[in-house]
Homo-oligomer: A and B are copies of this chain.
């Protein structure tokens, strides 16, 4: 299937451009939590967080249309919409996160956040986990490069072991927080000893790509303490957990009880419109602007702001954060009833949850997990996998995902697991 389309794609976009699924889907239409392919087949979208308030939400489309008809220009002229949005956005954070740099992608946001840390500390060293992904610019891809880039890895980036649900650092859930902080402290010492100094620790406060391990509130406290003591900054990449996805809080760092110096947001911010931002204490933003004289042509244009504002409005009006809390805990409950010898752990928060598959010896089961992903797709349910070993189901649907959709998901998964080897 899709042979001609894939050939054409290979020819025009270059070979080895990734797709999802062995036989990729050819999606032509979306609405709410639903996607349709070119043959009219309907898929339940349990994967996409970018269409945060639902595919093609009419309120967002209307906001984009209205503003695109009126004006779309850059921020070197004055415009109120960017200020209204920045005011509303910073209003969702604790008071010290009070200034905003608007850009177009999460990668751009993280590229800035890292340089903010460098600008205000005057040092270069950066710490990230060994299972993360923060984006695709030359600098940001250094955080997660699987193979070294040309010229080698940047000497000022250190990766520390990721926290893990089934195989906690230090051997127990209780020891994990201290052990993680110990790795960060060792990394800081190493960066100082090499003359780079330490500027920032960047992490997703939900450790999404690491497989969103179950962590206690306060997990980051000893780490944050080590970062502060060393004069460095904590950067929370909220590109995945942000905007209420976790149900209990609007931001992932609130859920874990952390107080970042800089927050980056992206994917869900404009429901698919390319918009992202960095939120930081005013003096950090000032130090960055002073060091780099940054300007972004498309960043904060009125259309992007209109899309982003509509997302915040719809989240509130349709009470989608509450929905994430309710449906998320309902789905977790139902997933916990499933039986299969490879079910290592059912975990998650709000509308970002999954199952880690492992055998009795806790060995990850990436092949098995992939089989589940493919079988679910064959049943019309789109999801994927993640984690260091790609053995954890990644279920992260648009926010208007209801209990009835969770039922469809769980029932299909029950069927797949019943028929699966193991």
Contact = CB atoms under 8 A, between A and B. Distances in A.
B20 A48 contact: no
Contact of A289 (B15, B74, B80): B15
Interface string A104-145: 111110010011001100111000000000001111010001
A73 B138 CA distance: 24
Interface in A288-312: 288-298, 300-301, 303-304
Interface in A63-103: 64-65, 68-80, 82-83, 86-87, 90, 98-103
B101 A13 contact: yes
Contacts of A90: 12
Contacts of A271: 72
A139 B136 contact: no
A362 interface: no
A29 interface: yes
A97 to B, nearest CB: 12
Copies in the complex: 2
Given A104-B105, A105-B297, A124-B150, A61 B56 contact: no
Contacts of A105: 103-105, 108, 296-298
Give the residue among A105, A122, A294 with the most B Cβ atoms within 10 A. A105
Contact of A138 (B9, B138, B289): B138
A161 interface: no
B25 A151 contact: no
Given A82-B13, A138-B137, A108 B108 contact: yes
A380 interface: no
A122 B150 contact: yes
B13 A100 contact: yes
Given A25-B77, A78-B9, A108-B108, A138 B139 contact: yes
Nearest to A125: B151
A78 B28 CA distance: 9
Contacts of A111: 137-138
Contacts of A103: 105
Contacts of A48: 73-74
Contacts of A64: 64-65, 68
A273 interface: yes
A71 B139 contact: no
A229 interface: no
Give the residue among A68, A103, A267, A291 with the most B Cβ atoms within 10 A. A68
Contacts of A139: 137-139
Interface in A1-48: 2, 5-6, 8-9, 11-20, 24-30, 35, 48
Query: Shortest 5 CB-CB distances between A and B: which pairs?
Result: A14-B285, A72-B272, A138-B139, A118-B150, A274-B298
Interface of A: 2, 5-6, 8-9, 11-20, 24-30, 35, 48, 50-51, 55-56, 58, 60-61, 64-65, 68-80, 82-83, 86-87, 90, 98-108, 111, 114-115, 118-119, 122-124, 136-139, 141, 145-147, 149-151, 156, 196, 199, 266-267, 271-275, 282, 285-286, 288-298, 300-301, 303-304
30 contacts: A12-B98, A13-B82, A13-B83, A13-B99, A14-B100, A15-B285, A15-B289, A16-B290, A17-B75, A18-B76, A27-B71, A48-B74, A55-B72, A56-B70, A60-B68, A72-B272, A104-B105, A105-B296, A105-B297, A108-B136, A108-B137, A137-B139, A138-B139, A147-B291, A151-B196, A272-B301, A273-B274, A273-B298, A273-B303, A274-B298
